[in-house]
Structure 1
Amino acid sequence: MAGELVDNKGRGDVGWQWPSIHPEGRKFGLIAVGISLLAAFLAWETVAWPMAFLSLGVFAFFRDPERVVPQDERAIVSPADGLVSLIAQVEPPAELTMDDGSGTSGLPNQPVTRVSIFMSVFDVHINRAPIGGTVRRLVYIPGKFVNADLDKASEENERQHILIERQDGVSIGFTQIAGLIARRIVPFVKPGDTLAAGARVGLIRFGSRVDVYLPAGTDSKVLVGQKVVAGETILAEIGEQKLIEGIAQ
């Protein structure tokens, strides 16, 4: 199915398939499998069975399913699977607004809508580009590992800021944030790379969060408490402002 064009009129031939395992996780899964087999060979059942289940969990954590990315110039797609935990008006991080000497401008230094997506250990942890364009910044910041569901995690935790600029000058900044269990942010891209919307940009190991800073004059199309899917769920449409209310049921 990869690369196949589908639409909302029924075009496209699709079917369910097992998701692939990202190479970053295969080594961890194989290590767990090896320990399980060794323990089974030595008749250490109390070790063999837990390690067998752990290996399945590791492979599941690093699964990398295909996604159908909406092809709409106005659309900002979710960069992460997970729960929309916070939506707030904030000023973007200094790393995304300051002059970094590269000759390219950052985000405007004014309040914008930030959508925070919390990823549990059960979610897919491959992060994707919310728009197509050129990677202008990739800034890694060491920090703490407090609960990624807390608002202060945006400023205190280990994190990585990414800025993508479209050809028309529209820029989107988003931040990968490590959490209580997460201990490494792994980038797949570098400044200067040109990406399509929904392209894989990196992952965060074992539970984390992604903050997305929408352009000025753009409201979120998702609600607090909503589950979103990386590369598929439309978080916002550029330039659209509208109150959307929901009822949890």
Structure 2
Amino acid sequence: MVAVANQKGGVGKTTTSVNLAAALAAAGQSVLLVDLDPQGNASTGLGLERAARRGGTYALLAHADTPEHLIQSTDIDNLALIPADPDLAGAEIELAAAARREYQLREALAPLRESRHYRVIIIDCPPSLGLLTLNGLVAAESVLVPLQCEFFALEGISQLTRTIDRVSRSLNPGLRLDGIVLTMYDRRNNLSDLVAADARGFFGEKVYETVIPRNIRISEAPSHGKPVLTYDPRSAGTAAYLRLAEEFAARHQNRDTSSP
């Protein structure tokens, strides 16, 4: 179970969640995407309009329904979705008064974790470090961080890594940093190279070799309710996310085989 998180908005977090999930599904893996962002962009990006959504992650957090009942199919083989329902926007306030408030999502998703029906579960977290993101981090085994190739990028990521460390120490001892994905990479821009070099210098092998370029097809695809893989299979954005999925799968395979 992987949480995709970055407290900064506009970094390609939801885009990476949707397209990585679609690319893994295209490779034959059974994938579930959990939309934990009240904006619901991951749900929209997979073609599920707000009017068509029934219960979703709010009902999951409130333990008002089972995850199996809340899962919806998508147009992509092997890819299922628990959408963000409209009531999710008020969940932060309600969670504040709940007992074991940080564990609500973990406990709700426990049956799916135990059944191992889905090879990969991806949680798309909100662009904040509030209670919803905290629930995503406590539920997950690892955190994937999209990092846009812009000037203030590394400044914000240090705060997130400190949060991951705190959650690992006090709430979820198994949590680890899965890796960092460089997004919005522009080869024509020296700044992209500088940010990439700084990230690799600081985080080393935690930074994925695959970089996600600035690509108009990636930007257009959500408005059509599709991942870039189905919107334009021949685009540079599609090729990048397919490579990312291969690298992601290889990393996790290596971890699985090295575990006792």
Same fold (TM over 0.5): no
What is the TM-score normalised by the length of structure 2? 0.25
The higher radius of gyration belongs to 1
* Structure with the largest fraction of helix: 2
Which structure exhibits the higher relative contact order, with contacts defined as CA atoms closer than 8 Å and separated by 6 or more residues? 2
